[in-house]
């Protein structure tokens, strides 16, 4: 198997024949503390509101 096409040009698929180096999981895990997301319903019970409107 060669890295050239039949016309002598470079084989475009050659760069996909080898996997990249593995990445250490410690490098991809967020190390910054996160805050809780705000409540999108603002403390309301959306299901109860819907039930009261459509009862």
Cα-Cα-Cα-Cα dihedral sign, residues 16, 17, 21, 24:
positive
Number of structural domains the chain divides into: 1
Please tell me the distance from the alpha carbon of residue 51 to that of residue 45, in angstroms, as a whole number.
10
- List the domain range (segments joined by +) for residue 30: 14-54
Decide if 47 is inside a domain: yes
Residue 13: name the closest of 25, 29, 2, 24 by CA.
2
Q: What is the CA radius of gyration of the chain?
A: 28
Query: Residue 4 in contact with residue 10, Cβ under 8 Å?
Result: yes
Decide if 8 is inside a domain: no
pLDDT digits (tens, 9 = 90+) for 1-51: 556 666 767 888 888 888 889 999 888 877 778 788 898 888 889 999 999
Decide if 41 is inside a domain: yes
* pTM of the predicted model over 0.85: no
């Amino acid at each position: 198997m060669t890295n050239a096409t039949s016309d002598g040009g470079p084989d475009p698929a050659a760069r996909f024949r080898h996997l990249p180096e593995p990445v250490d999981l410690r490098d991809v895990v967020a190390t910054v503390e996160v805050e809780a997301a705000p409540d999108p319903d603002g403390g309301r019970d959306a299901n109860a509101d819907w039930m009261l409107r459509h009862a």
